[in-house]
Amino acid sequence: MISAALTDLPGSSAVFDRGFVTYSNAAKMQMLGVLPATLEAHGAVSEQVAREMAEGALRHSAAQIAVSVTGIAGPGGSEFKPEGRVCFGLARRGQPCVTETVEFGARGRAQVRLATRDHALQLILRALQALP
């Protein structure tokens, strides 16, 4: 959804390099270099994994900015990782990666996914506005 929103804009091919959809843990490890130990210690829905995903996206692309998301859109979740929890990573070349967790709540899968897309786009926009 994030890639689709960015590439819906005319001229986006001049600034959009690629997107990675790494839904499974295996894909996260194979495509982005997320460490098995990180997944085991923290689980896929964690800021630690979001950080490794964003940093991996930079390593495996020509991008200057990468955003990552990993979360539980629902239905379901657990006491420790409830539905609507999404972890974000934002990596920029030459800058430390920043992460955050947003609790969107159990508002339904479609609404959590839309809120995730919008939040990720806002992170990208803020990062672009901060460029010199």
Which domains does the chain carry? 2-129 (3.90.950.20)
**What separation in angstroms does the CA of 81 have from each of 25, 54, 72, 84?**
17, 21, 8, 9
Residue 132: the pLDDT is 75
pLDDT for 104-114, tens place per residue?
Answer: 999 999 999 99
Which of 74, 68, 59 is closest to 98 using CA atoms?
68
pTM: 0.96
Average pLDDT over residues 25-29: 98
Average pLDDT over residues 32-40: 98
Residues 69/51, Cβ–Cβ less than 8 Å: no
Residue 79: the pLDDT is 87
